[in-house]
Amino acid sequence: MCHAALKYIKKGGPGRGTSSGGTIMNISAKLHYTTAWYQIHVSAAKAAVDAITRSLALEWGTDYDIRVNGIAPGPIGDTPGLSKLAPDEMKIDLSTDSRPLYKAGEKWPLY
């Protein structure tokens, strides 16, 4: 997707001059920073997203003035993802992980 957008964003998006590039925002996860049961496929994919983000930031930032950022939110409570990663029978204490607020994130309703 980044490569497909390169032709457009290296020239600058709407309202931007031709000498200024666009922005790419990649979304990853924190899962691959440590380990989790049965999540090899997810960890490998998210590690690849992080590597692509860093490489594009270096290359395209230098060559085209394109800003490339990534975010990696932690687990969000009351979601299917969290129930798969931390089912009740595993007895995982979510407050001890490296979350700034010592709790899982909260989902907000979309309006």
Gap between the Cα atoms of 103 and 82, Å rounded: 12
pLDDT value of residue 16: 53
| DSSP-derived secondary structure for the chain | -HHHHHHHHTT--TTS-TTS--EEEEE--SGGGS--TT-HHHHHHHHHHHHHHHHHHHHHHHHH--EEEEE----BSSSHHHHHHS-GGG---GGGSS-TTSS-B------
Between 11 and 96, the higher pLDDT residue: 11
Q: Does position 99 have pLDDT exceeding 80, yes or no?
A: no
The band of 84, judged by pLDDT with boundaries at 50, 70 and 90, is low
